[in-house]
């Protein structure tokens, strides 16, 4: 299937992924997991919401936990460069028939919420409250020392169309997995705005759903330490996959599930992609190194389970990708 061309003059300027908003059923259990086990910093909390961030982040939050009767991914958020970009984004939505509206969100400036053509619930903003840098406050470090939100990965029923749409918005393809043969279809795509492997990855599957969100940590040892801590603290069953190294992105990884089943990746060791002539790397779906460089297959839950968006119907994928699943 065709690989999209880089677009350097998008209709509005998204600069990076910013924050995830998760609906959770037990705020206390979720706070314990993300603050004490993973090591995110709680910046503010109310009776129905908790706001957290990584040590490197100067913005108020990169994760919002909202109390809800049902677990879901409420929104995924991106930052745009200027307030004018919000107006440009609203004009783009109006011109393309996309549902959108400006809303008031705590600790954020003017915020535009929209539904993309595939049902993904997106939030854009240009300004957020600032907080003191905690990078050198090693006395506050817990868990695996998460530094910053790195990316989202979603299940998309229409991978090619979704990839093409986000390419129009300036997302640049870095790596992709494709069926072999003359008419091979792209089954997964990694796209970025900020200059590393991805801000937004698109995976073939039942959707729209969030597959995972990821925090970057300093070294692989932080990930190995988290495995020891989780196994010792009663969270052994929350470890879903890894530790290991992806062929795609070169990242050292661990995937864990929070108390509601939302999937979180702990991630390090990817690479820079900011040069304008950076060419996307193709992976065959038949190459076992793409999942894990060492050849270990992913579990069935990896391909089947994800977080839905509230009140958005989930669709079957346009085709069934033939992938290797661990027994």
pLDDT, tens digit, 9 for 90 and up, residues 8-27: 999 999 999 999 999 999 99
pLDDT on residue 143: 96
Confidence of residue 1 (pLDDT cuts 50, 70, 90): low
pLDDT cut 70: percent of the chain above it = 99
Which among 145, 183, 186, 197 has a CA at the least distance from the CA of 283?
Answer: 186
Question: For residue 182, is pLDDT > 90?
Answer: no
pLDDT on residue 323: 85
**CA separation (Å) from 84 to 9, 12, 108, 127, 260?**
15, 9, 16, 12, 37
Question: For residue 135, is pLDDT > 90?
Answer: yes
Average pLDDT over every residue of 314-320: 95
Q: Is 145 left (phi over 0), alpha (psi -120 to 50) or beta?
A: left
Average pLDDT over every residue of 217-233: 97
Question: For residue 45, is pLDDT > 80?
Answer: yes
Question: For residue 192, is pLDDT > 90?
Answer: yes
pLDDT on residue 327: 65
Confidence of residue 92 (pLDDT cuts 50, 70, 90): very high
Start-to-end C-alpha separation, the chain: 30
Domains of the chain, start order:
14-131 (3.10.180.10), 145-308 (3.10.180.10)
Extract the tokens encoding 7: 């677009």
Question: For residue 107, is pLDDT > 70?
Answer: yes
Question: For residue 259, is pLDDT > 70?
Answer: yes
Confidence of residue 325 (pLDDT cuts 50, 70, 90): confident
Q: Map residue 211 onto helix, strand or coil.
A: strand
Contact 74/115 with Cβ under 8 angstroms?
no
């Amino acid at each position: 299937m065709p690989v999209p061309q880089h677009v350097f003059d998008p209709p509005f300027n998204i600069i990076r992924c910013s924050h995830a908003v998760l609906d959770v059923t037990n705020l206390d259990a979720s706070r314990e997991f993300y603050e004490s086990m993973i090591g995110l910093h709680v910046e503010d909390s109310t009776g129905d919401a908790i706001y957290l961030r990584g040590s490197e982040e100067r913005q108020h939050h990169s994760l919002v936990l909202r109390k809800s009767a049902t677990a879901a991914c409420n929104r995924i958020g991106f930052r745009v460069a200027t307030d004018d970009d919000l107006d440009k984004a609203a004009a783009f939505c109006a011109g393309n028939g996309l549902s959108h509206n400006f809303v008031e969100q705590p600790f954020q400036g003017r915020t535009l919420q929209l539904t993309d053509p595939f049902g993904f619930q997106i939030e854009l903003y240009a300004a957020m409250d600032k907080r003191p840098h905690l990078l050198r406050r090693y006395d506050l470090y817990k868990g695996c020392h998460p530094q910053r939100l790195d990316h989202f990965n979603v299940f998309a029923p229409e991978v090619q169309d979704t990839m093409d749409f986000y390419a129009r918005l300036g997302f640049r393809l870095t790596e992709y997995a494709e069926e072999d043969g003359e008419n091979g279809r792209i089954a997964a795509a990694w796209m970025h705005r900020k200059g590393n492997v991805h801000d937004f990855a698109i995976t073939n599957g039942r959707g729209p759903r969030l597959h995972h969100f990821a925090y970057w940590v300093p070294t692989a040892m932080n990930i190995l330490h988290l495995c020891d801590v989780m196994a010792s603290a009663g969270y052994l069953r929350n470890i879903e996959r890894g530790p290991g190294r992806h062929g795609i992105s070169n990242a050292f990884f661990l995937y864990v599930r929070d108390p509601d089943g939302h999937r979180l990746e702990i991630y390090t060791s990817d690479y820079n992609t900011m040069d304008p002539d950076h060419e996307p790397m193709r992976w065959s779906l038949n190459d076992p190194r793409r999942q894990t460089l060492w050849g270990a297959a992913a579990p069935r839950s990896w391909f089947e389970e994800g977080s839905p968006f509230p009140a958005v119907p989930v669709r079957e994928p346009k085709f069934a990708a033939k992938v290797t699943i661990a027994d």
